[in-house]
Protein backbone atom coordinates (compact mmCIF):
# COMPACT_ATOMS: atom_id res chain seq x y z
CA UNK A 1 0.00 0.00 0.00
CA UNK A 2 2.77 2.40 1.01
CA UNK A 3 4.67 1.45 -2.12
CA UNK A 4 1.63 2.20 -4.26
CA UNK A 5 1.20 5.60 -2.62
CA UNK A 6 4.89 6.43 -3.16
CA UNK A 7 4.69 5.35 -6.75
CA UNK A 8 1.56 7.40 -7.42
CA UNK A 9 3.12 10.44 -5.74
CA UNK A 10 6.22 9.98 -7.85
CA UNK A 11 4.26 9.85 -11.11
CA UNK A 12 2.14 12.88 -10.23
CA UNK A 13 5.18 14.89 -9.15
CA UNK A 14 6.94 14.06 -12.38
CA UNK A 15 4.00 15.06 -14.56
CA UNK A 16 3.41 18.34 -12.73
CA UNK A 17 7.09 19.23 -12.49
CA UNK A 18 7.96 18.46 -16.07
CA UNK A 19 5.06 20.66 -17.09
CA UNK A 20 6.52 23.63 -15.26
CA UNK A 21 9.59 25.26 -16.72
CA UNK A 22 12.58 24.99 -14.44
CA UNK A 23 11.04 22.37 -12.18
CA UNK A 24 12.33 19.31 -13.97
CA UNK A 25 15.15 18.93 -11.44
CA UNK A 26 12.59 18.50 -8.66
CA UNK A 27 10.92 15.70 -10.57
CA UNK A 28 14.21 13.98 -11.28
CA UNK A 29 15.32 14.30 -7.67
CA UNK A 30 12.06 12.67 -6.70
CA UNK A 31 12.70 9.84 -9.15
CA UNK A 32 16.14 9.37 -7.63
CA UNK A 33 14.78 9.12 -4.08
CA UNK A 34 16.34 6.03 -2.48
CA UNK A 35 12.90 4.98 -1.17
CA UNK A 36 12.14 3.98 -4.76
CA UNK A 37 14.57 1.07 -4.44
CA UNK A 38 12.08 -0.81 -2.27
CA UNK A 39 9.67 -1.43 -5.14
CA UNK A 40 11.79 -0.66 -8.22
CA UNK A 41 14.37 -3.32 -7.26
CA UNK A 42 17.24 -1.86 -9.30
CA UNK A 43 19.68 -4.58 -8.20
CA UNK A 44 17.25 -7.27 -9.33
CA UNK A 45 16.73 -5.49 -12.65
CA UNK A 46 20.46 -5.28 -13.29
CA UNK A 47 21.04 -8.93 -12.31
CA UNK A 48 18.21 -9.99 -14.62
CA UNK A 49 19.86 -8.16 -17.52
CA UNK A 50 23.12 -10.18 -17.19
CA UNK A 51 25.24 -7.36 -18.59
CA UNK A 52 28.74 -8.46 -19.54
CA UNK A 53 31.59 -6.25 -18.29
CA UNK A 54 32.83 -4.03 -21.11
CA UNK A 55 29.35 -3.74 -22.67
CA UNK A 56 28.01 -0.61 -24.27
CA UNK A 57 24.60 0.28 -22.94
CA UNK A 58 22.15 3.09 -23.69
CA UNK A 59 19.93 4.23 -20.81
CA UNK A 60 17.17 5.60 -23.04
CA UNK A 61 15.23 8.28 -21.18
CA UNK A 62 17.80 8.29 -18.40
CA UNK A 63 16.07 11.09 -16.46
CA UNK A 64 18.05 11.99 -13.36
CA UNK A 65 20.16 8.85 -13.75
CA UNK A 66 18.35 6.51 -11.37
CA UNK A 67 19.41 3.45 -13.39
CA UNK A 68 22.47 5.02 -15.03
CA UNK A 69 24.78 4.43 -12.07
CA UNK A 70 23.65 0.82 -11.65
CA UNK A 71 24.29 0.24 -15.34
CA UNK A 72 27.70 1.95 -15.08
CA UNK A 73 28.69 -0.44 -12.30
CA UNK A 74 27.54 -3.44 -14.37
CA UNK A 75 29.51 -2.50 -17.51
CA UNK A 76 32.60 -1.69 -15.45
CA UNK A 77 35.50 0.59 -16.33
CA UNK A 78 35.94 -0.87 -19.82
CA UNK A 79 32.28 -0.41 -20.72
CA UNK A 80 30.23 2.66 -21.57
CA UNK A 81 26.78 3.82 -20.57
CA UNK A 82 25.20 6.43 -22.79
CA UNK A 83 22.72 8.36 -20.64
CA UNK A 84 20.27 9.44 -23.34
CA UNK A 85 17.56 12.03 -22.75
CA UNK A 86 15.78 14.83 -24.59
CA UNK A 87 15.71 16.97 -21.47
CA UNK A 88 18.74 19.17 -20.81
CA UNK A 89 18.00 19.36 -17.07
CA UNK A 90 18.28 15.57 -16.87
CA UNK A 91 21.62 15.53 -18.64
CA UNK A 92 22.96 18.41 -16.54
CA UNK A 93 22.10 16.46 -13.38
CA UNK A 94 23.78 13.35 -14.72
CA UNK A 95 26.86 15.30 -15.73
CA UNK A 96 27.19 16.82 -12.24
CA UNK A 97 26.78 13.42 -10.61
CA UNK A 98 29.25 11.90 -13.05
CA UNK A 99 31.89 14.40 -11.98
CA UNK A 100 31.05 13.89 -8.28
CA UNK A 101 31.23 10.10 -8.55
CA UNK A 102 34.19 10.07 -10.92
CA UNK A 103 32.50 7.69 -13.36
CA UNK A 104 34.15 8.30 -16.74
CA UNK A 105 32.26 5.36 -18.26
CA UNK A 106 29.02 7.41 -18.36
CA UNK A 107 28.39 9.72 -21.30
CA UNK A 108 25.34 12.01 -21.38
CA UNK A 109 23.74 12.21 -24.84
CA UNK A 110 21.22 14.87 -25.81
CA UNK A 111 18.64 13.08 -27.93
CA UNK A 112 15.77 14.41 -30.00
CA UNK A 113 12.31 12.84 -29.69
CA UNK A 114 12.95 10.95 -32.93
CA UNK A 115 16.62 10.08 -32.60
CA UNK A 116 18.69 8.82 -29.65
CA UNK A 117 21.82 10.19 -31.35
CA UNK A 118 23.94 7.32 -30.12
CA UNK A 119 27.56 7.79 -31.16
CA UNK A 120 28.03 4.04 -31.73
CA UNK A 121 25.99 0.81 -31.75
CA UNK A 122 25.31 -0.69 -28.32
CA UNK A 123 24.80 -4.15 -26.80
CA UNK A 124 21.76 -3.10 -24.80
CA UNK A 125 19.19 -0.33 -24.94
CA UNK A 126 17.59 -0.14 -21.51
CA UNK A 127 14.54 2.06 -21.04
CA UNK A 128 12.62 2.51 -17.79
CA UNK A 129 9.31 4.39 -17.56
CA UNK A 130 10.00 6.14 -20.85
CA UNK A 131 8.51 4.00 -23.62
CA UNK A 132 4.98 5.28 -22.95
CA UNK A 133 6.21 8.88 -23.38
CA UNK A 134 7.83 8.31 -26.74
CA UNK A 135 6.29 9.43 -30.01
CA UNK A 136 6.22 7.60 -33.37
CA UNK A 137 7.49 4.46 -31.66
CA UNK A 138 7.12 2.26 -34.71
CA UNK A 139 9.51 4.41 -36.79
CA UNK A 140 11.76 5.08 -33.77
CA UNK A 141 12.39 1.46 -32.82
CA UNK A 142 12.60 0.28 -36.42
CA UNK A 143 15.43 2.73 -36.92
CA UNK A 144 16.99 1.92 -33.52
CA UNK A 145 17.81 -1.60 -34.76
CA UNK A 146 20.74 -0.09 -36.69
CA UNK A 147 22.15 1.14 -33.33
CA UNK A 148 22.32 -2.41 -31.94
CA UNK A 149 25.46 -4.50 -32.10
CA UNK A 150 25.07 -8.14 -33.22
CA UNK A 151 22.95 -9.92 -30.59
CA UNK A 152 21.96 -6.53 -29.14
CA UNK A 153 18.90 -6.31 -26.90
CA UNK A 154 16.23 -3.74 -26.08
CA UNK A 155 14.89 -3.94 -22.50
CA UNK A 156 11.65 -2.09 -21.82
CA UNK A 157 10.38 -1.62 -18.31
CA UNK A 158 7.16 0.34 -17.89
CA UNK A 159 4.00 0.66 -15.82
CA UNK A 160 1.06 -1.61 -16.46
CA UNK A 161 -2.20 0.39 -16.66
CA UNK A 162 -3.79 -0.79 -13.43
CA UNK A 163 -5.32 0.90 -10.44
CA UNK A 164 -6.94 4.27 -9.88
CA UNK A 165 -4.61 6.32 -12.11
CA UNK A 166 -4.63 3.72 -14.84
CA UNK A 167 -3.61 5.46 -18.06
CA UNK A 168 -5.31 8.67 -16.95
CA UNK A 169 -2.34 10.79 -17.98
CA UNK A 170 -1.10 8.51 -20.75
CA UNK A 171 1.61 7.58 -18.26
CA UNK A 172 1.35 3.81 -18.62
CA UNK A 173 1.20 1.23 -21.37
CA UNK A 174 0.04 -2.37 -21.42
CA UNK A 175 2.66 -5.08 -21.74
CA UNK A 176 0.82 -6.56 -24.69
CA UNK A 177 0.81 -3.21 -26.51
CA UNK A 178 4.58 -2.91 -26.06
CA UNK A 179 5.07 -6.40 -27.45
CA UNK A 180 2.79 -5.84 -30.44
CA UNK A 181 4.41 -2.50 -31.25
CA UNK A 182 7.91 -3.90 -30.94
CA UNK A 183 7.03 -6.86 -33.15
CA UNK A 184 5.60 -4.46 -35.73
CA UNK A 185 8.88 -2.52 -35.53
CA UNK A 186 10.88 -5.65 -36.37
CA UNK A 187 11.73 -7.21 -32.98
CA UNK A 188 10.94 -10.47 -31.24
CA UNK A 189 10.31 -10.97 -27.55
CA UNK A 190 13.10 -13.01 -25.96
CA UNK A 191 12.31 -12.59 -22.25
CA UNK A 192 9.32 -11.54 -20.20
CA UNK A 193 10.24 -10.98 -16.55
CA UNK A 194 7.78 -10.75 -13.67
CA UNK A 195 10.05 -8.91 -11.28
CA UNK A 196 8.29 -5.73 -10.26
CA UNK A 197 4.78 -5.28 -9.00
CA UNK A 198 2.72 -3.23 -11.51
CA UNK A 199 5.53 -2.99 -14.04
CA UNK A 200 6.26 -5.19 -17.02
CA UNK A 201 9.83 -5.91 -18.04
CA UNK A 202 10.29 -7.30 -21.54
CA UNK A 203 13.44 -7.93 -23.52
CA UNK A 204 13.56 -7.85 -27.30
CA UNK A 205 16.04 -8.61 -30.05
CA UNK A 206 15.92 -7.65 -33.70
CA UNK A 207 13.82 -10.35 -35.40
CA UNK A 208 16.39 -10.83 -38.16
CA UNK A 209 19.40 -11.20 -35.82
C1 LIG B 1 9.61 9.15 -16.32
S2 LIG B 1 11.22 9.66 -16.78
C3 LIG B 1 12.14 8.18 -16.38
C4 LIG B 1 13.56 8.47 -16.06
C5 LIG B 1 14.39 7.25 -15.64
N6 LIG B 1 14.46 6.26 -16.67
C7 LIG B 1 13.85 6.65 -14.38
O8 LIG B 1 13.33 5.53 -14.42
O9 LIG B 1 13.97 7.30 -13.33
C10 LIG B 1 11.15 9.60 -18.56
C11 LIG B 1 12.32 10.31 -19.23
O12 LIG B 1 12.28 10.01 -20.62
C13 LIG B 1 12.68 11.15 -21.34
N14 LIG B 1 12.21 10.99 -22.72
C15 LIG B 1 10.95 11.06 -23.20
N16 LIG B 1 10.93 10.82 -24.52
C17 LIG B 1 12.22 10.57 -24.88
C18 LIG B 1 12.86 10.24 -26.12
N19 LIG B 1 12.18 10.13 -27.26
N20 LIG B 1 14.20 10.05 -26.12
C21 LIG B 1 14.91 10.15 -24.96
N22 LIG B 1 14.36 10.47 -23.77
C23 LIG B 1 13.03 10.66 -23.73
C24 LIG B 1 12.08 12.30 -20.56
O25 LIG B 1 12.74 13.52 -20.83
C26 LIG B 1 12.28 11.83 -19.12
O27 LIG B 1 13.50 12.28 -18.60
Q: What is the mean pLDDT, run by run of 10 residues, along the chain of 209 residues?
A: 58 52 81 96 98 98 98 98 97 96 95 98 98 97 98 97 68 94 98 96 95
Burial pattern 75-108, b for ≥16 Cβ within 10 A else e, equals beeebbbbbbbbbebbbebbeebbeeeebebbbb
**Chain centre to alpha carbon of residue 26:** 19
**Per the confidence metrics, is the pTM higher than 0.85?**
yes
How many Cβ atoms are within 10 Å of 154's Cβ, its own excluded?
Answer: 26
Cβ contact 24:62 at 8 Å: no
Nearest protein CA to atom 14 of ligand 1, as residue: 61
CB of residue 189 inside a 6 A radius of ligand 1: no
Q: What is the per-residue pLDDT across 155-173, written as a single tens digit (0 to 9) for each? A: 999 999 976 666 666 689 9
Q: What is the per-residue pLDDT across 113-147, written as a single tens digit (0 to 9) for each? A: 999 999 999 999 999 999 999 999 999 999 999 99
Task: From 72, 85, 155, give the residue whose CB has the most ligand 1 atoms within 8 Å, as the site to mutate.
Answer: 85
Q: Which has the closest alpha carbon to 71: 25, 61, 90? A: 61
CB of residue 68 inside a 6 A radius of ligand 1: no
Q: Which has the closest alpha carbon to 59: 75, 82, 27? A: 82
Q: Which atom of ligand 1 is nearest to the CA of 116?
A: 20
How far is 96 from 85, CA to CA, in rounded Å? 15
Give the pLDDT score at 162.
Answer: 78
CB of residue 13 inside a 6 A radius of ligand 1: no
Task: From 91, 130, 147, 165, give the residue whose CB has the most ligand 1 atoms within 8 Å, as the site to mutate.
Answer: 130
Q: Which atom of ligand 1 is nearest to the CA of 157?
A: 8
Give the pLDDT score at 166.
Answer: 64
**What structural domains and CATH numbers belong to the chain?**
39-206 (3.40.50.150)
CB of residue 133 inside a 6 A radius of ligand 1: yes
Cβ contact 111:85 at 8 Å: yes
Amino acid sequence: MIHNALRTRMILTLIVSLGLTGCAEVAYERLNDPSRDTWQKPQGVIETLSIAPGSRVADLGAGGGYFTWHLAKAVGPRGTVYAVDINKAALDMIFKEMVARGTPNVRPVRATPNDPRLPEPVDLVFSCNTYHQMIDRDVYFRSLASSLRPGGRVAILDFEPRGFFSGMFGNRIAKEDVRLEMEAAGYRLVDDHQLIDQQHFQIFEAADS
